[in-house]
Amino acid sequence: MKWITRERPKIDRIACPWLIQKFVDPEADFFYVPFNEVITKAKELNAIPFDIPDVEFTHYNEECTFDYIIKKYQIKDPAVLIMAKIVRGADTDRHEIAKESSGLWAISAGLSHNITDDLELLKNGMILYDALYSWATHLYKQNHLQNSPFENLLHEVYNKFLSEKKAGKKTPSWVKDLKEIIQDQIDAQFTFDLKKISNDLELNPSYLSREFSKYFEDLNFGKYVRKLRIEKAINLIQNSTYTLTEIAYMTGFSDQSHFTRIFKLHTGKNPSSYRKNALKSNSDGKSK
pLDDT tens track for 102-116? 999 999 999 999 999
Q: CB under 8 Å to 257, separation ≥6 — which residues?
A: none
Q: Is the pLDDT of residue 12 over 90?
A: yes
Region of 108 on the Ramachandran plot (φ > 0 left; ψ -120 to 50 alpha; else beta)? alpha
> What CA–CA distances, in Å, run from 183 to 83, 161, 193, 202, 266?
30, 19, 21, 27, 18
Q: How far apart are the two ends of the chain, measured CA to CA in Å?
A: 60
The angle, 0 to 180 degrees and rounded to 10, between the axes of the packed helices 207-215 and 194-201 is 90
Mark whether 257 and 156 lie in a shared domain: no
> Pick from 190, 216, 242: which residue ends a domain?
216
Taking the C-alpha atoms of residue 262 and residue 264, their distance in angstroms, rounded to an integer, is 5
- Please report which confidence band the pLDDT of residue 258 belongs to, taking 50, 70 and 90 as the band edges: confident
Mark whether 94 and 150 lie in a shared domain: no
pLDDT tens track for 47-78? 999 999 999 999 999 999 999 999 999 999 99
Provide the number of structural domains found in the chain.
3
Mark whether 78 and 104 lie in a shared domain: yes
pLDDT tens track for 23-35? 999 999 999 999 9
The predicted model scores a pTM of 0.53
Mark whether 36 and 127 lie in a shared domain: yes
Mean pLDDT of the chain: 80
Phi, psi of 161 (to 5 degrees): -60, -40
Mark whether 68 and 91 lie in a shared domain: yes
> Pick from 162, 188, 216: which residue ends a domain?
216
Asked if residue 173 lies in contact with residue 159, where contact means CB atoms within 8 angstroms, the answer is no
Domain harbouring 253, CATH code: 1.10.10.60
Mark whether 199 and 262 lie in a shared domain: no
Residue-range definition of the domain harbouring residue 260? 224-287
Mark whether 123 and 41 lie in a shared domain: yes
Q: Is the pLDDT of residue 202 over 90?
A: no
